[in-house]
Structure 1
Amino acid sequence: MSDAAARLADLRNAIARAAKAASRDPEGVQLIAVSKGRSAEAIEALIEAGQRDFGENRVQEVAAKWPELRRRHPDVRLHMIGSLQSNKAEEAAGLFDVIHSLDRASLLQAMVKAEWHGPTYVQVNIGDEAQKGGIAIAELPTFLDKVRDAGINLAGLMAIPPSEVEASPYFALLAKLARRHDVTGLSMGMSSDFTSAVMLGATTVRVGSALFEETG
């Protein structure tokens, strides 16, 4: 077994244990390998180990790095997990399969103009942090109505809890908001807290450092 395959197996086992502890089916949790800043060779090692979903946060990096990888592996799915500029929406629509960071009305309009039809997560500013993107909790009902009225394929909610604090209360809050607004998908949890996220209902987790060789 390659190093990449061993890391992937360890991570999938950790997800499965967390899911079972919460009486959930592990198959209900999608793993996104966060490949931003990683080489094509490192990514391909994970593809060969069986990973198919990858997360990137810059349109330019995807345009430069992924065309050849996708030519060789057409079943790979790319997820936009970073902040997306409205003027990059059309380009993103041609590069990504899923967008996790719809966070404002101007971007919604740009995605509609770009005829984006892929699964889309609305990003919530779950910790009310001025420096982070995301819809304020109080504005979420109105914004979700706008997303649905626009014909966007609403897959769920995404959030990144404040750093250096316990993430679980924020995951629980996002899950509560999803239930309240009849949304099923929960994109939450990263390398340091994905097990808590899974136990609190995450349907998608985004993990980078645990899957790739450390650099530097």
Structure 2
Amino acid sequence: MSLSEIRTRIEDACQNAQRDPASVSLIAVSKVQPNDRVRAVLEQGHTLYGENKVQEAQGKWPDFRTDFPDAQVHLIGPLQSNKVRPAMELFDAIHTVDREKLARRIADMAQQLGRCPDLFIQVNTGEEPQKAGILPAETDAFVETVRAMDLTVAGLMCIPPVEETPSLHFALLAKLAARNGVEGLSMGMSADFEQAIAFGATHVRVGSAIFGERDYG
């Protein structure tokens, strides 16, 4: 598959959902991808990328942004409290705010830096013990806690359990977002982004379908 094919599928999904394609941002997940593949997609004019690890992103995006100053990078992997400063200096959005200690650290650093990336709260919609994220029943209170720190909640994010129907989780996340007056919905990946768009996704995360299969060796 290719970037253009993914864009076409997003446009078709938006048409089916009677949505403006401009309301959906495609995050090209560039984690663990060779730099030449990432550069090739940058050269096609795509500007929004997703990375899982602060250190990996630090190793490539400052150089890429020299050549592609319009590029934006979102952190879509877990964030450790001791990596908050470099994350906030590098990323345009953080999709994985999932605990009060982390939110507090972000709030303190925002005061120091005078800026803050867009923040998405990760919700563990499947209530999986091995997965990060606020439980659905705790989401309302956590949104309120984060806002009380003078932080803006740009959106909610989820990663549905692989063995369950993703649309149930997309519907739950959309309900939680609407109830809390949150506009952004970061949900949907290569296998299910069209379903996510039908449920209101504003950010979909697609990697190997754009870049090719990752080599973790």
Take 2:74 and 2:32, find their aligned partners in 1: how far apart are those partners? 14
2:77 corresponds to: 82
- Matched residue SS, 2:140: helix
Equivalent position of 2:103 in the other structure: 108
CA distance in 2, matches of 1:26, 1:37: 28
Aligned counterparts, 1:82-161, within 5 A: 82-115=77-110, 117-161=116-160
Measure, in 1, the Cα distance between the counterparts of 2:109 and 2:34.
29
Residue 124 of structure 1 contacts residue 157 of structure 1 at CA under 8 Å; is this kept in 2?
A: yes
CA contact (8 A) 2:33 2:214 kept: no
**Paired residue secondary structure (1:90):** helix
Would the aligned equivalents of 1:34 and 1:208 in 2 still touch at CA under 8 Å? yes
**Amino acid in the other structure paired with 1:168:** S
Q: Which residue of 1 aligns with 2:186?
A: 187
Cα-to-partner distance string for 1:128-183 (whole Å, 9 max, x where unaligned): 10001001111111111111111212111000000122101110111111111111
SS at 1:32 equivalent: strand
The answer as to whether partners of 1:58 and 1:82 remain within 8 angstroms in 2 is yes
Structure 1: distance between partners of 2:199 and 2:49: 22
**Separation in structure 1 between the aligned mates of residue 99 and residue 34 of structure 2, nearest angstrom:** 31
After superposition, the C-alpha distances for 1:172-201 in whole angstroms (9 at most, x for unaligned) are 111111111111110000011101001111
Give the stretch that moved more between structures: 108-117 or 30-39: 108-117
Separation (CA, whole Å) in 2 of partners of 1:164 and 1:133? 17
Aligned counterpart for 2:59 among listed residues 41, 47, 64: 64
Give the structure 2 partner of residue 51 of structure 1. Answer: 46
TM-aligned CA deviation for residue 214 of structure 1? 2.6
The one of 23, 37, 48 equivalent to 1:28 is 23
Gaps of 5+ in 2: none
Give, in angstroms, the shift of residue 215 of structure 1: 4.7
Question: Residue by residue, what CA displacement relative to the aligned partner does 1:10-46 show, whole Å, maximum 9, x if unpaired?
Answer: 0011011111101111110000000000111111111
Whole-Å separation in 1 of the counterparts to 2:212 and 2:161:
26
> In the alignment, is the contact (CA less than 8 A) between 1:104 and 1:135 conserved in 2?
yes
- CA distance in 2 between counterparts of 1:26 and 1:140 reads 28
1:23-75: CA deviation from partner (whole Å, max 9, x where unpaired): 11111000000000011111111111111000001011011121111111111
**Root mean square deviation of aligned Cα:** 1.1
| Aligned counterparts of 1:212 and 1:192: Cα–Cα separation in 2 | 15
- Give secondary structure in 2 for the equivalent of 1:70: helix
3-state SS of the aligned residue for 1:210?
helix
Unmatched 5+ stretches in structure 1: 1-5
